[in-house]
Amino acid sequence: MPPSGPSDDAYRFDDLRALYVNCTLKRSPEISNTEGLIDRSRAVMEERGVSTEVVRAVDHHIATGVWPDMREHGWEKDTWPGLYEKVMAADILVLCGPIWLGDNSSVLTSSPS
């Protein structure tokens, strides 16, 4: 923890925005261990003034593919374009997910990049 006192302003980051993408396999409102870890990290950031937001990927219809909006390429739904705007507006992007047998969750590895 940084020292407290007059220099606390040096540890303020009020102009930064962080977006957490929770790639748990569990849909809301099911309890996610990944969310618990995110909550701890968010608390640290928010304590220092960072504005945070969490998106749970499985709660959205994110089409897989190579185009920015897969609705233009045969998919009925694709919420990625709206989420992409949030990604681009963030100064900090934190991709979070469970590790299963030494690998990331399928939600994390199949999401658009």
Domain presence at residue 96: yes
Domain presence at residue 67: yes
pLDDT for residue 2 is more than 60: no
pLDDT tens digits for range 85-111: 999 999 999 999 988 777 788 888 775
Domain containing residue 98: CATH number: 3.40.50.360
Domain presence at residue 21: yes
Query: What DSSP character marks residue 68?
Result: S
Number of structural domains (the chain) is 1
**pLDDT score recorded for residue 68:** 86
The confidence band for 113, taking pLDDT boundaries of 50, 70 and 90, is very low
Domain presence at residue 66: yes
CA distance 8 to 40: 21
Note whether 52 and 45 are within 8 A (CB): yes
Could you list the residue range(s) of the whole structural domain that residue 100 is in?
A: 6-110
Does residue 79 sit in helix, strand or coil? coil
pLDDT tens digits for range 26-83: 999 999 999 999 999 999 999 999 999 999 999 999 988 888 898 899 989 999 999 9
Domain presence at residue 53: yes
